Amino acid sequence: MAEYNTAFAVGGAQTFGQAWAPCNGDIGTVSSNWLYGGGCAYPAPYRSFQQNLINGNNYLGPYCRRLDGVAGRLKISLSAQIGEVGFVQQCWYDYPRGANDKVDGVLADTNQVWWDTKVSRKYWVQVYNLNDDNAPLIWVQVAISAGTTSYPLLSMHDVSNGPLQGDCIRYIRSAHNLYGGQVNPLQLYTGVSGNCALKSDDLF
């Protein structure tokens, strides 16, 4: 049985309490130095009070996406691979903004815009898929730098700097999206996942 059979909730839009503006910084490429929880321990998009609370209460780590585009977070395994870094689904990438999700009175960028244009460096790592019964090692792309000048901004979907590149990764995402029930042709090929929050027993 998978360590986690469902995706972690993202959390509701801002209604009360302290909201968090996007967090900038560079956490480097040494995964053993990465931190988990709420606040600004790693690059992050805008978060409402509830969204940051979910991060903290569940000790969620850096934002990431699988090879097929499914969004998630890094998290230390508590049972499947005890003490090891794992991937858990959280559908943050296309999560909608609420009317009060503002920074200095201006509606915050969507998470998709943050990932596609504000994250200045992404890093591929292999971690355990904690949504899979067998918890296999999978590739995920992690947001490790944002708001820094050391690295240039990456283009949308960032299909040019990973173990699988260009049309190859797009076709893989298309097949996975089609299998998951996605019928929108604009999403099938672009790599925007159509089946986030479904339990996965595949190798992605």
Please tell me the predicted confidence (pLDDT) of residue 204: 37
Please tell me the predicted confidence (pLDDT) of residue 124: 93
Please tell me the predicted confidence (pLDDT) of residue 117: 85
Residues whose CB falls within 8 Å of the CB of residue 72, separated by 6 or more in sequence, listed in order: 7, 64, 65, 66, 87, 88, 89, 90, 140
Please tell me the predicted confidence (pLDDT) of residue 120: 86
| Longest CA–CA separation in the chain, Å | 46
Q: How far apart are CA 14 and CA 105, in angstroms?
A: 13
| Spatial contact of 196 and 70, defined as CB atoms under 8 Å apart | yes
The separation between the first and the last C-alpha atoms of the chain, rounded to the nearest angstrom, is 18
Beta bridge partners of 85: 76
Please tell me the predicted confidence (pLDDT) of residue 143: 95
Cα torsion 20, 24, 29, 35 to 10°: value is: -30
pLDDT digits (tens, 9 = 90+) for 34-43: 999 999 999 9
Positions in the chain whose pLDDT score sits under 50: 154-161, 163, 186-195, 198-204
Please tell me the predicted confidence (pLDDT) of residue 93: 92
Q: How far apart are CA 59 and CA 149, in angstroms?
A: 29
pLDDT digits (tens, 9 = 90+) for 69-92: 899 999 999 999 999 999 999 999
Helix (H, G, I), strand (E, B) or coil at 70: coil
- Count the Cβ atoms, other than its own, within 10 Å of residue 7: 20
Helices (H) then strands (E): counts for the chain: 4, 8
Cα-to-chain-centroid distance, residue 7: 12
Q: What are phi and psi of 89, to 5 degrees?
A: -70, 140
Q: DSSP character for 90?
A: B
Please report the DSSP string for 3-64 in residue order: S-SSPBP--PPP-SS--BPPBPEE--S-GGG---SSTTSS-B--B-HHHHHHHHHTT---EE
Please tell me the predicted confidence (pLDDT) of residue 152: 54
